[in-house]
Structure 1
Amino acid sequence: MGGTVTAEDTPGGGLTMVVSLPAVDLNDHADNGKAGPA
């Protein structure tokens, strides 16, 4: 799957969480869920 989670200190206090996930090209999965020939 991939992706990252990072924590960044915020000046003055606090915490920023950054979540990065890979994108999916929907054209690569265009046939998912389609019925085949009967």
Structure 2
Amino acid sequence: MKIQTDLTIPEIDEIRKEGVKALVERLGIAKAAALLDFV
């Protein structure tokens, strides 16, 4: 099941480069967890 996000594909690629910690710092823990389920 896919989760709808407001992120674009380039943002997802950027997150993969930056790592999870940067993602959590930018989006907050709850949204980061949802995105990790999506990716």
TM interval, shorter chain, is under 0.3
TM-score under structure 2 length normalisation: 0.15
TM-score under structure 1 length normalisation: 0.15
* Bigger strand fraction: 1
* Bigger helix fraction: 2
The structure that has the greater radius of gyration is 1
